[in-house]
Structure 1
Amino acid sequence: MTVGADMPKVSVVIPAYNCGANVDRLVASLRRQSLPAGEFEVIFVDDGSTDGTPQRLDELAAAHPHIQVLHQENSGWPSRPRNVGVERARGDYVFFADDDDWFGDEALERLHACAREHDADIVVGKMAGHGRAVPRELFRQNRFDATPANAPLIDSLTCHKLFRRSFLLEHRLQFSEGPYLRLEDHRMVVRAYLLSRRTCVLSDYTCYHHYLRSDQTNVTAKRFDPTEYYASLREALEIVNAHVPPGPLRDRLHRRWLRNEMLDRLRGRRLLDAPEGWVEQIAREIQEIIRDRLAPGVAAGLPPLYRALARLAEEGRVADLRRLAEWEVGVRAHGVVDRWAVRGSTLTLTFSAQLRAGDRPLRFGNDPHGLPVLPVGNVEPTPGAATPASPAKLDLVARRQETQEEIFVPVTVETERVPAEGGLHVLHKATATVDFAAFNSGRTRGTWQLRARVTSAGWTRDVGLALLVHCATDGAPPQVEYERAFWSRLRRLARRLGGHLPRTAVRAR
């Protein structure tokens, strides 16, 4: 295969297994790339698909000289295909993609330009999630010399990033192979972060779209075996230990796995929807890791809710974890727009938001640890073991409905602590001014929903603010629609047609 006279700038490596037509969106995004087709190559590695995927990919490669397909026996997991793809890759840089995700149109060009300009070993491009969570705090701003010590890189441990190929080869950065071997990308990526001479974070353009198929057939969406999963997690912790001495940084890196891969599985709807026996297995594994593998400072640095969860897990109090989960599913954000106005291209609004438990504001105690009032007792941290609670905060996020990409909007916030029976409530009041001629570097075409995001005590909850902002073209003056009026018109239309719509406008999640 020939890709121009020179070697390609980027090799996109894609494991494929029984993806069928689900790959079409990825292929379409690759064909739309602003980086010329002669400057990148695409390597599909078919992992023994049993449907029409091999023929579909072969036809694609026959029609496009910069696309090639490798076929192999089924290995049961994406690791082997990714490693094989790197062996075949010729690009200066390698990007690992999945067969049901897709790229922003300028992603490869922007990622490569950032890597070359800053001589980076790794570039992390901003991500959007479609049915699945993606990092948020990491992408508040561009970061051109990010390290695990000065940036929340640890929040992004999937492999969907740009890596210098010579860097991968120099350090033998490969994915651990084996069927259903979990967290293989965590182990590869965290080691890469710790070895990288320079890592950049590109936050001003949404480069990559993660998609969770509604049929849940993504191979990594299947329920895991707790013993195997947490054995892999222990290996990730040991990689950190091999590169980072004991102390605050090691604790902070370990904290990511305690929060995301352990405690988050023991809370809310995630716990309640899981089989009881499976939860018991997970709880035992987590209890052992907390007791034997994590320093006291790991749990101590968590927000108050997570500190309570960590204590319950360490003590094996599964019944209390379930009781807490049943209560927590009722914790939501509530937001109200007080005033809004549009002048020219500028929208100004004031709004308020807070967390609620059920239909009442969430109540916090007057204790120094900042714990919310929880439905279980004896969860206060050991004296001297807890760090002060991080202050609650409010963000305003604009989410483009067509693409699900999110942009943080600058806000001025005042936080009130209102005395309540047995404690206090927290209420945030904010003002924001958005110039849609300059917002998102002028890339504003589409419909934007404004959402309040409340972060407090271990919860991060969004609520729609009942405002829809329509921009007919990039940089066009915004047309603002009050969502309650929008839904009212739809209900009137539905009644004329003999149907009905639910009487709700502000949707929290």
Structure 2
Amino acid sequence: MPIKVSVVIPVYNPGKYIEDCIASLLRQSLPDDEYEAIFVNDGSTDETPGRLDRLAAEYPHMHVIHQEASGWSGKPRNAGIAAAKGEYIQFVDNDDWLGDEALERMYNYGVENGADVIVGKMAGKGRPVPLELFRKNRPHANVENAPLIDSLTPHKMFRKAFLDKHNLRYMEGRRRLEDHVFVTEAYLRAENVAVLSDYLCYYHVKREDASNAGFQRFDPVGYFKNLREALDVVEELTEPGPLRDRLFRRWLRNEMVERMRGQRLLKLPEDYRQELFDEIHKVVVERFGPGVAAGMQPTQQIVAGLIAANRLADVEEFAQWESGIKPSGVLENLGWDNGRLTIGFTAEYQSGGEPITFRAEGDKDLLAPPLPKTSLDAIALLGADTSAPLGKSKVDLVVRERATAAEFFQPVELTREKVAVAGREGYFRQVLRATAEVDPLSAANGAGLDAGIWDVLIRISSCGWTKETRLGSVRGEEAGRGRRAAVVGSPARLVLPYWTDPHGNLSLDVGQKTNRISYEFAGLTAADVTVTTDPGRIAVALPFHVQGESEAALKLTSASAGRSVDLTATLTARGADKAELSAGLPLGELADGQWRLELTVPSTGGGKPVALPLALDVSASGGAVVKPLAAAAADLAAKDPARRKPAARPAEPTLLRRAAGKLRRALKK
């Protein structure tokens, strides 16, 4: 079979961190004879070379190239390109790993859409990844119609013939941002770029020892020299104008302005802070016209203007204020409606624990940072836009899978409200009021949520700030009343919203990944159960949301003999937040005595039995009643003296016990 995909992995002293990468490559759904992995060992001095040799000896589609250390990833990636036999080449770092179906899905998607480059959805494990780019599938993307420029890491799939046609190779040697140069040119030369967002393809991982190359402190002079090379590519392949300005804006925003904001700036040593600022100032003055900064958010424009004016002290003042800005949210209501979880909440930014305020001046809304007059005057002199574009403020609700960090945006309906500040004429807060819907069957960009723990968070974007926070620790009473487990879909899956410990945030347990479902039954009493004897039948009222009707199972276990009877049960909706579990009761098979009850709710990956705090007491005459478990145990002990626990021996007073011990030791002597 022709090789469809060659995976190129540059390797340098990864130690144990390469094992997840290897395992993910061996798990690929693409048949072994349709893909290959090429590990390029760039002079590793740990045990990795031997590990890779053993891997290649065991698996014919795993290959290893050994070369002398080159100092960075460019040369080993180029060696992998030269050796690749695949139609496409996927680059993977030795710290990262792929989703099990990543190669198959990305290849098929690329062929289907005639793509030169395929960008698969990424999850960041301890490190940031693009978010807006992966809101939806983009089968025909380019730098004008999609935010491709937000993703410049090399972890993508490229058509090999396309790379060869344009002689696209990585710059070699010990250098920074070689991936920016390579990927930017690929985007600008590609006839089509396809963005696959409905499957998590790539896991971008921050190592526990934080020794990934991208996390090392860098030399500002060398770094920004390399950055200029990426800008050179843009200048070569675009005309002056709005598109070039928008592409340049990515480097001004991410690599310069954002390094000069909030705690990211303030935590740097003062000498290094100055050195970094000086190099950024040079690039801003040399390379960027006024149209580049003009397209950024007001807060970013202020910082960019202060950088251009060479005013580090004012940048630091502004960073002090911004470092205290935090997002906040209140969970107002929660409830299920026709299989969808409705989440109502409010959100706003705070600074120093108080809501951020804005100032109205005529028909304009303005930022009102509490900065010294000298800083405000400097900002005014620069002509930086200090208006607050509050009409563009938005809040997203995101569900994030805890184990993989996969994120998916949920649909939100939003209203923006101005709230006057008491005692301060002309000042106001902006409160975002939102309602989101989470459909467990389509919440993952059209696919269902996989079994796992999904944390719920909100992400507020306003005035140049984009920050996220968990939702639920601050909530209204209505939210607590509306929290219910739900059984949705066919095949059915169990979804349980719950409050996390100890913070009380909202998370979703899909497929019984925790034992929290048992807490939902803790409040059941005998009054929630109806038992009939002619015919024998049991019905239990449960605090569940159910769509229509679903199968379940009920297990009865004899408290005395240990014998069990399995019953097929039906779970039926009885309103928006109640359900009835019903099953035939074969009283003839149940001996005189007590029977413990265990419920198994249908769930993704198979449900787990959960004990109910109730017992079925069957009499010799065939009658049956339900009792709380504690009362049933007491009745059983009264009937069977052998089951009574012996009385606890009174504890000896501590001093008396010590004295007795001393006397025994003395007698032994």
TM-score (norm 1): 0.90
Question: Equivalent of 1:335, from 329, 332, 336?
Answer: 329
- Percent identity between the aligned chains? 44
Matching residue of 2:292: 298
Structure 2 unmatched ranges of 5 or more: 474-482, 506-669
Give 3-state SS (helix, strand or coil) of 2:194's partner: strand
Structure 2 SS opposite 1:214: coil
Match for residue 459 of structure 1?
465
Q: Secondary structure at the match of 1:365?
A: strand
Amino acid in structure 1 at the alignment position of 2:301 = R
Alpha-carbon shift at residue 382 of structure 1 (Å): 5.0
CA distance 1:145–1:157, shift in 2 (3 Å): same
- The 1:387–1:43 alpha-carbon spacing in structure 2 relative to 1, beyond 3 Å, is farther
Shift of 1:349: 1.6
Could you state the TM-score of these two structures normalised by the residue count of structure 2?
0.69
- Opposite residue 79 of structure 1, the aligned amino acid is G
CA separation of 1:391/1:379 partners in 2, compared to 1, >3 Å: closer, same or farther? Answer: same
Matches for 1:7-406 after TM superposition, within 5 Å = 7-179=2-174, 181-343=175-337, 345-366=339-360, 368=364, 370-375=366-371, 376-377=375-376, 378-380=378-380, 382-383=382-383, 389=389, 391-406=392-407
| Secondary structure at the counterpart of residue 367 of structure 2 | coil
**1:419-498 map, 5 Å:** 419-420=420-421, 421=424, 423-440=427-444, 441-466=447-472, 476-483=493-500
Q: Is structure 2 residue 422 aligned with structure 1 residue 418? A: no
CA distance in 2, matches of 1:433, 1:472: 16
Shift in Å, 1:437: 2.5
Question: Which segments of structure 1 move beyond 3 Å, counting only runs of 4 or more?
Answer: 367-372, 380-390, 467-475, 483-488
The 3 A distance-change label for structure 1 pair 274 and 486 is closer
Kept in 2: contact 1:126–1:205 (CA 8 A) = yes
Once residues 248 and 157 of structure 1 are traced to their aligned partners in structure 2, the CA distance between those partners, rounded to angstroms, is 20
CA distance in structure 1 between the partners assigned to 2:188 and 2:38 by the alignment: 27
Q: Are the equivalent residues in 1 in contact too, given 2:388–2:463 (CA < 8 A)?
A: no
Aligned length: 482
**What RMSD, in angstroms, separates the aligned Cα atoms of the two structures?**
2.2
Given that residues 305 and 382 in structure 2 are in contact (C-alpha distance below 8 angstroms), is that contact kept between their aligned partners in structure 1?
no
Give the counterpart letter for 1:373 in structure 2.
Answer: P
CA 1:15 to 1:475, structure 2 compared with 1: closer, same or farther past 3 Å? farther
Greater RCO structure (CA 8 Å; 6+ sep): 1
Q: What residue identity is the alignment partner of 1:77?
A: W
One-letter identity of the residue aligned with 2:401: R
Q: Deviations 1:267-323 (Å, cap 9, x if unpaired)?
A: 112112222112111111111111121010101111011001011111121122222
CA–CA distance in structure 2, aligned partners of residues 162 and 327 of structure 1: 42
Question: Higher strand share goes to which structure?
Answer: 2
Match of 1:494 in 2: none
Query: Which residue identity does 2:136 align to in structure 1?
Result: Q
Q: In 2, Cα distance between the equivalents of 1:381 and 1:207?
A: 48
- Relative to structure 2, which stretch is displaced further, 43-52 or 439-448? 439-448
Counterpart residue identity of residue 53, structure 1: T
Q: Is the 8 A contact 2:358 2:365 kept in 1?
A: no
Once residues 472 and 52 of structure 1 are traced to their aligned partners in structure 2, the CA distance between those partners, rounded to angstroms, is 49
Q: Secondary structure at the match of 2:208?
A: coil
Compared CA separation, residues 60 and 469, structure 1 to 2 (3 A): farther
- 2:399 maps to a residue whose letter is A
Distance 1:444 1:470, change over 3 A: farther
2:5–2:88 Cα contact (<8 Å) kept: yes
Using the TM superposition, give the Cα deviation of residue 380 of structure 1 relative to its aligned residue in structure 2, in angstroms: 4.0
Give the 3-state SS of the residue equivalent to 2:379 in structure 1. coil
Name the CA distance, whole Å, in 2 between partners of 1:71 and 1:143: 38
User: 2:42, 2:66 within 8 Å by CA — same for their partners in 1?
Assistant: yes
